[in-house]
Amino acid sequence: MNAKETVPGAIPRANSRPEAVSQAILRGGLHLLVSAYLALMRLVGFVRPGTRPPEDGRFDILLTGTFYSDNWLMSHLRPLAMSGRCARIRMVSTTPLPPMEKVEAVHPPAWLIRVLGGVPARLATFFWTGIRARPNIVGGFHLLFNGLAAALLGRMIGARSLYFCVGGPAEVLGGGRSSENRLFARLSAPDPALERKLIRSVANFDLVIAMGSRAVQFFRQRGVNASFHVVSGGLDASRFRADAAHPQYDLILVGRLAEIKRIDIFLESVKHVHRKLPAVTAVVVGDGPQRKALEAAARALGIETSVTFAGHRQDVESFLKKSRLFALTSDSEGLSLSLMEAMLCGLPAVVSRVGDLGDLVEEGVNGYLIAERTPEAFATRFVELLTDGESLAELGDAARRSASRFELAAVSRLWDGILAESPGADTTGLVPSGRGAS
């Protein structure tokens, strides 16, 4: 397997006449959908009520999104809720929320889910709650379709709209074909015209929260003049900390088992490491649509006894504390939460040189960025570090220091500044990595 191949079960691209016709219908439908949305935004803009500032300086916030991990959700909601400028967060979700102070779960009624389906019922509940409660800020995690819904609702009720750009430029590149939206991800080839329309939709937001600086640069270079802010998730340092216990795993990868994560590259790299270090152990923490295919790939590579698939876990920190080296082999990433958690636990990182990972990983200081994302390139770094305990320890100490700026209190202070600013201000200089966003 090389960096361009995928594991069995990857989504096939259109290569026959019926598929080509299907793709043409899909592209036409998506263009019509996004064009109609942009026209509706312009129409609503003509009658938009004035933005209502909070009466006591504290914001009532309404959000929605789909989440695969309580840990990920808490890392973004807790620091926002901890801000002195936040009065309350209502979170519209179809799944239960972990308890958090100042965070109220709003669930669609079961009958509405049965009638409409999960996502439409959640978005309908989001609109109904916004119209009834009239919050000061409405927001969505991911552009498709939560962010688009938030921008429209904000214009309808005179609230500021907030877009959590979790996936970075991948949410719009090629017309959204690399996003995790099941409809747009069906595109078999990039659609530049649809990409431009999605970028235009981002310009409608009052606030855009990016996970790293490269996402900000991407949108600015394409003429988006929204108010951008780089805000990572906030981590609980009492959970994610180094542990002196004897490691159980040499390598750990934490992530959703989806094609974009390229865990096939990780497995192939473990195969290469195994040839030089036969006792190597690795663990993959996470679940997703490719799990069965990846487990089959591990068996085909002859490393099934070396790799543990732990599945979805709420106690991710327990696996990080039992590991020596963190890896990400993704095609695209924002500033990965799992990377921050690993580094706060004192693990050096060997990750793809993609997206915003360079905001945190400094080459040869706290980890390594792999530009030529082949299994051989990753394996070379893995073997180098696993056989040099002194370098591994030095990089681990630096990793922990680098990630300390992502602790809850620091990120909450960042939200204080964002919520206190005037509508047109920009706080990208407050990026926790200390490198700025422009």
Do 392 and 365 sit in the same domain of this protein? yes
Domain count, the chain: 2
- Percent of the chain scoring above 90 in pLDDT: 71
**Band of pLDDT at residue 404, cut at 50, 70 and 90:** confident
Can you give the pLDDT at residue 50? 67
Do 271 and 171 sit in the same domain of this protein? no
User: Residue 354 belongs to what domain range?
Assistant: 249-406
Does a structural domain hold residue 437?
no
With contact defined as beta carbons under 8 Å apart, do 353 and 381 qualify?
A: no
Does a structural domain hold residue 7?
no
Do 421 and 395 sit in the same domain of this protein? no
Alpha-carbon dihedral sign for residues 142, 107, 135, 82: negative
Can you give the pLDDT at residue 378? 97
Name the least confident of 60-69, 256-265, 425-434. 425-434
Question: What is the per-residue pLDDT across 372-389, written as a single tens digit (0 to 9) for each?
Answer: 999 999 999 999 999 999
- Identify which has the larger pLDDT, 391 or 356: 391
Does a structural domain hold residue 205?
yes
Does a structural domain hold residue 12?
no
Do 143 and 39 sit in the same domain of this protein? yes
Taking all residues of the chain, what is their mean pLDDT, rounded to a whole number?
89
Question: What percent of the chain is helix, strand and coil (3-state, nearest 5)?
Answer: 45, 15, 40
Question: What is the per-residue pLDDT across 272-310, written as a single tens digit (0 to 9) for each?
Answer: 999 999 999 999 999 999 999 999 999 999 999 999 999
User: How many residues does the structure list for the chain?
Assistant: 438
Which tokens in the block code for residue 115?
């009638």
Can you give the pLDDT at residue 431? 41
List the CATH number of the domain containing 265: 3.40.50.2000
Do 230 and 257 sit in the same domain of this protein? no
Can you give the pLDDT at residue 20? 87
Does a structural domain hold residue 199?
yes
Do 371 and 412 sit in the same domain of this protein? no
Can you give the pLDDT at residue 13? 46
Residue 430 scores a pLDDT above 60:
no
Does a structural domain hold residue 241?
no
Can you give the pLDDT at residue 57? 85
Q: What are phi and psi of 284, to 5 degrees?
A: -115, 115
Question: What is the per-residue pLDDT across 30-44, written as a single tens digit (0 to 9) for each?
Answer: 999 999 999 999 999
Do 340 and 298 sit in the same domain of this protein? yes
Do 282 and 360 sit in the same domain of this protein? yes
Does a structural domain hold residue 24?
yes
The Cα 242–Cα 83 span in angstroms is: 27
Do 317 and 328 sit in the same domain of this protein? yes
Can you give the pLDDT at residue 10? 41
Residue 107 scores a pLDDT above 80:
yes
Residue 437 scores a pLDDT above 60:
no
The Cα 146–Cα 48 span in angstroms is: 20
Can you give the pLDDT at residue 84? 93
Can you give the pLDDT at residue 128? 98
What single DSSP character describes residue 220? H
- Identify which has the larger pLDDT, 53 or 174: 174
Does a structural domain hold residue 377?
yes
Question: What is the per-residue pLDDT across 143-192, written as a single tens digit (0 to 9) for each?
Answer: 999 999 999 999 999 999 999 998 889 899 999 998 878 899 899 999 99
Residue 237 scores a pLDDT above 50:
yes
Which tokens in the block code for residue 296?
């089959």
Do 39 and 138 sit in the same domain of this protein? yes
**Band of pLDDT at residue 420, cut at 50, 70 and 90:** confident
Do 336 and 226 sit in the same domain of this protein? no
Token pair 């106690």: residue: 315
Do 80 and 215 sit in the same domain of this protein? yes
The β-bridge relationship of strands 59-64 and 137-141 is: parallel
